[in-house]
Amino acid sequence: MAEPRSVSLRVPVLARVEGEGALELDVRDGRIANLALRIFEPPRLFEKLLEGRSFDEVPDIVARICGICPVAYQMSAVHALERLFGTPIDAATRALRRLLYCGEWIESHALHIHLLAAPDYLGLRDVIAVAKAHPQVVARGLALQALGNEILRTLGGRSVHPVSVRVGGFARAPDVVALEALYARVEAALPEAEALLAWTARLPLPHDEQHFTCVALRHPDEYPMNEGRVTSDLDLDLDPESFETRFAERQVSHSTALHAALDGAPYLVGPLARLNLNADRLPPPVAAAIDRVGLRLPSRNMFHSIVARAAEILLALHEARRLLADYMAPDPAGPVTPRAGSGAWATEAPRGLLWHRYATDATGTITSARIVPPTSQNQARIEADLAASLTSLGLDRDDDTLRQRAETVIRNYDPCISCATHFLTLKVARA
């Protein structure tokens, strides 16, 4: 009988991923005996920092949780508080919030595709190498990201940590002349986004079919962003208020990042889950473009996430054009009457479902807050994917090959951990 073989991969710091972490993988006798994605984060304490603050401070505070997707945190927060207080918003405010979310999807997805994921599939080290080999591709990606940032800046006052979002509406309406210029840029970008979708579909993506549960919002009339019920491909259908009845976070010994589970099992949130569950909500031109590139939905290949991101860029541009064409100035944010109670909401951040719950006293002071971001919801799914993908690849592969696949799998989820710049220093012990 062959000697048992032990392989230990240690991944001290993640690069082309936001944050610091380590992957430990023990392979014995041709099987994975233990796999742990270790995440190292100092406590950021945002939930505790919100306690004792007035409700009207919340949008600006939660925007600081992430520099890439601040709008997602603002949107989940204001909707939860509006639900709690019974604060109505007009149709124009709702449309403007969806347009703001479009800008965030465009800039976040464009950044991930070109700066983080594409080098893996092109066999190149980083975006600098991609720019040398494919200058037009990177130029197109940066132009799309800049357009997304311009939408955020025009509506939110600035592209990083926007300042116009308020409970009950917006602090100010955007400049109409600026919106007209934005419309022209959005329309001009549509063929570029279609070309990007086709380009991602032609990438040499690994073929790695897996079983996983998809979770995303679902809206009766539109592709979900700001509103919807929490659904899955296992017939889940929840109001966000009931999120905690089926979803639970737990602390694991090998990570400071929480792991979430749906009825005790891992699940997927993010662009591929959204697309799998909401393909019938796509605008016809986007559905046709997806069909032309040959992406068949639902997809069980997690590496199709890069194609899903490109499809959502195209979707967001079509939505932005429609919303800009129909723009009406929203009513000014009126007075908000706070009350004691609790309210919850979920929206779709670029990386997936983002759930907030707030409790307030009668003055609108926050007494408790709970925020469940998409990365913590994907942690257990990432570990399951790593185990399946590395086993499918072949655990007897050399260290560099195993390391590259592990990096690619982790980056494929676009995990937003904190902020760091290194990746795999690989240490392998074999016995």
pLDDT tens readout for residues 93-151 = 999 999 999 999 999 999 999 999 999 999 998 999 999 999 999 999 999 999 999 99
In contact, 38 and 22? CB cutoff 8 Å: yes
Domain enclosing residue 199, as ranges: 46-377
Three-state secondary-structure class, residue 401: helix
Inside any domain, residue 7: no
Question: Residue range 306-325: average pLDDT?
Answer: 98
Single-letter code of the amino acid located at 394? G
Inside any domain, residue 3: no
Neighbouring-strand partners of residue 370: 357
Q: What is the pLDDT of residues 1-47, one digit of tens each?
A: 333 344 455 544 344 455 566 788 888 888 898 888 877 666 667 88
pLDDT at 136: 97
DSSP 354-406: EEEEEEE-TT-BEEEEEEE-HHHHHHHHHHHHHHHHHHHH-TTS-HHHHHHHH
Degrees to nearest 5, angle at CA 19 with 14 and 24: 45
pLDDT at 365: 98
- Report the C-alpha gap between 370 and 363 in whole angstroms: 19
Q: Quote the pTM value.
A: 0.92
Q: Tell me, what CATH number does 363's domain have?
A: 1.10.645.10
Inside any domain, residue 96: yes
- Report the C-alpha gap between 345 and 354 in whole angstroms: 8
Structural domain tally of the chain? 1
- Report the C-alpha gap between 202 and 423 in whole angstroms: 27
Work out the pLDDT band at 334, boundaries 50, 70, 90: confident
**Which residues lie closer than 8 Å to 289 by C-beta, 6 or more apart?**
194, 197, 311, 314
Q: What is the pLDDT of residues 244-300, one digit of tens each?
A: 999 999 888 877 778 899 999 999 999 999 999 999 999 999 999 999 999 999 999
Q: Would you say residue 421 has pLDDT above 80?
A: no
In contact, 114 and 138? CB cutoff 8 Å: yes
Q: What strand order describes the sheet that includes 21-28? A: 6-10, 21-28, 31-39
Inside any domain, residue 259: yes
Inside any domain, residue 22: no
Question: Residue range 302-316: average pLDDT?
Answer: 98
Q: What is the pLDDT of residues 34-80, one digit of tens each?
A: 888 877 666 667 888 999 999 999 999 999 888 788 999 999 999 99
Work out the pLDDT band at 221, boundaries 50, 70, 90: very high
Neighbouring-strand partners of residue 26: 8, 34
Q: Would you say residue 303 has pLDDT above 90?
A: yes
pLDDT at 157: 85
Question: Residue range 349-357: average pLDDT?
Answer: 96
C-alpha distances in Å from residue 29, one per residue of 169, 195, 431:
60, 46, 10
Structure tokens at 422: 């290194």
Q: Would you say residue 316 has pLDDT above 60?
A: yes
Tell me the pLDDT of the chain averaged across its residues: 89
Q: Interhelix angle for 91-111 vs 305-325, to 10°? A: 150
